[in-house]
Amino acid sequence: MADRAKGALWRFGCWVVVTALILAVPATAMRFSSEVAWTTSDFIFAAALIMGVGVAYELAAMRGSAAYRAGAGLALAVAFLTIWLTGAVGIIGNERNGANLMFGAVLAIALIGAIAARFRPAGMSYAMFAAAVAQVLVAVIALTMSWGAGDPSYPWDIIGCTAVFTALWAGAAWLFRIAARSAPARP
């Protein structure tokens, strides 16, 4: 039991170091460019987001196989990127465009689906697939409504992010499906 606690403490320390290294990038950039202007609350939010992903991954890593851990890591990575991109620069137009809030629905579908599945691999597979479908629906709605059309990179920013994020959600679904096939049957 002491080894397990020591391992958990070691991994927590690693997440703290990773968080500090990631936050060192904008802190350093602020010294050399006026285009990077983070506030204290930006740093606190980013630290909480990174540490939250780390804690969620550590909890998921205790659950099962390598495929399950990889699926959880991939799902957490796409959730992190969604929050980071929509908050920092926006996917639909800029970060101030309210249409970016639709991506929160994708995250809610993934989270509610995971909870409903009680984090079991087969149910997680369905939840991640539902998130992939929701990701595509957000893009279809945004493109149909021409939201973000004033942005110089429209529509390629929406199409590109949707393709990448959908592939990541689908990859997580596939990994959870593999984990479900190798998991022992539950009574």
In this structure, the answer to whether residues 56 and 71 fall within a common structural domain is no
How many domains is the chain partitioned into structurally?
2
What is the model's pTM?
A: 0.88
In this structure, the answer to whether residues 42 and 55 fall within a common structural domain is yes
In this structure, the answer to whether residues 163 and 120 fall within a common structural domain is yes
Q: What is the DSSP string of the chain?
A: -HHHHHHHHHHHHHHHHHHHHHHHHHHHHHHH-TT----HHHHHHHHHHHHHHHHHHHHHHTTS-HHHHHHHHHHHHHHHHHHHHHHHT-SSSSTT-GGGGHHHHHHHHHHHHHHHTTT-HHHHHHHHHHHHHHHHHHHHHHHHTTTTTTSTTTTHHHHHHHHHHHHHHHHHHHHHHHHHHHSPPP-
In this structure, the answer to whether residues 76 and 50 fall within a common structural domain is no
Whether 88 has a pLDDT exceeding 60, the answer reads yes
| Domain range for 108 | 66-187
Domain boundary among 62, 87, 105: 62
In this structure, the answer to whether residues 57 and 70 fall within a common structural domain is no
Per residue in 95-141, pLDDT (tens digit) is 889 999 999 999 999 999 999 999 999 999 999 999 999 999 999 99
